Structure 1
């Protein structure tokens, strides 16, 4: 007979989303297992944690260690480099305009996972267990979720949280379909050193005909992470260059705003696509992170949206689900609560991307007009900044809460 163990919650997927979800469930007093192998430590990307993500991570006791590994983002600079008829004005958003020291922090993904894993290790083992192997299969029944592991052992849980990515086996077990689409673009990701000119905690995004070219503060004042969105063929060409040749071309694309570059990581490429679940819950299950939504790395939205998934789930469980976190009322309330935020954020990223790559004047004109108005109307600037940081229902989120968190960082 297979070895069976029972917990209140099983989190399937051990990336950043899974780590945070498991810690959150344990802090609710629920017994939880985090399922999945340890991180490989070979992710060259970074993550910008913005807006309400900061006070939320502070509430879990995670923020101080994360902030110590990241770089503050105090200015967001947008530059129109499309060369098209409708040229948007260069626009700078400063966090001080909405009474924040910083919009958030950018952190290396490997360091982020290492920091979260260290926090995981010190959680109460009575509430949080790690099973560092892949799940083989998932069955979702009326009264439990049953997860079979690679070694044949079985976890029985009242709730399964799908944090297992775009090919989620939890989502498949729930029978939830996905809407999927692709873009004629690939993101080249690489980290750069620019010793002659510091970034001064500013993120600079050039809008080009092929997509954003975004430089974000990285490990110190003179390093930046780059996401360069180009055609598929151009991405492969750039990836195949020597580091010296690539550094020169990227400096030219950045119009030498930081002087000469040197490449300090191996470039990686990621074809752009999007997907969104037709439902965010199933029997004894909820979807978070890329099991529920995935879109291009534009506007630093991915993990911030995921943290709002987890925070919403925690709120619903805290209110109605401590006795049974996988009850139909709980998972249904969670799914309905997440619709507007996920759909609006997905649509916003899609429209911004299409406004860059489309040759149609309407999209170009709308983007240009929007940035021009943001430059001229202070109240609109503030609304734009807050809308970029949080869900539509939380645009009035408390700056006091974030400032309180910043004092601890």
Structure 2
């Protein structure tokens, strides 16, 4: 009985140890063009939040179809703001975009999730998932009933998306997956999903549109969508140790705020949304072991010799002087003086310099001769025609070619 209890405690410890340490996220903006500025802001807002909550860049795939920060219409280059007050540049200096522009395709999106990337794809552009991974998939753009557009040139359908999640399940590439989509008719993209432990959250019903929140008159476009704005507002109030659950998260944007009905789907999830924490998908922990300071020491600093680094510098200097002395003794054994070697090296460098100057003078002289000869030949070949060239017995001509 005691052995069984110990085994149960060990399994619980292992489960707690690995909790939230293998969370991944893929954030996708599928729209290009300047007037879709808000879609870029949507993705970067979520990107900033999950990084603040502990998910590192190595576990985030960021896909931006348009580089609005460097668009010529942007009056503030290298900046993206999700609020008209312009207090926070969410583009910042630490944004790592993995797929940009025409790399953002439905094919690449599917390849990343299923692990079927092309040969030569760097590890930083892959999702190294396993059966213990919690995966966050966030997509924003323009769509309709049963599809989401990519780049205004192609699309991903609801069935293709469902089959992608099923491939992930068959290949054991996730433990739980949270799929969030913000587009018009967003709920239609949840209809065909059938894989276990997939949670869906859509910004609008199948008969509704998704709306923008507000615009910035200085740039002339909307800066964020309503759903992402209130979702970001919710996430900014929690930390990586928060006890907030998914069911509370699903209420972050009611109809009075979003002007559309959000649609959660939890029927495929084996757990309970009322007890599952939001941080299971939006945060990540790093296990660390805290060690006590040994007896007799007041702090960790006392474990090190304060003169350790000074002694090490003296050791390096002594070793350097020993090496220089060994070198001098070796030269003296062959009756070689260091200053004579330096003089010989200087003479060799001077000779090389003189040779280079004479070679340059020779090339320039030849070039000048070539130009002079060419000019003389051109002047003699195209000399001006006169009546002296007209043979006797021929009528005078007003137009005459030098070649006649």
Query: How does the TM-score come out when normalised to structure 1?
Result: 0.30
Structure number with greater CO (CA < 8 Å, separation at least 6) is 1
**Larger C-alpha radius of gyration, 1 or 2?**
2
User: Structure 1 or 2: larger strand share?
Assistant: 1
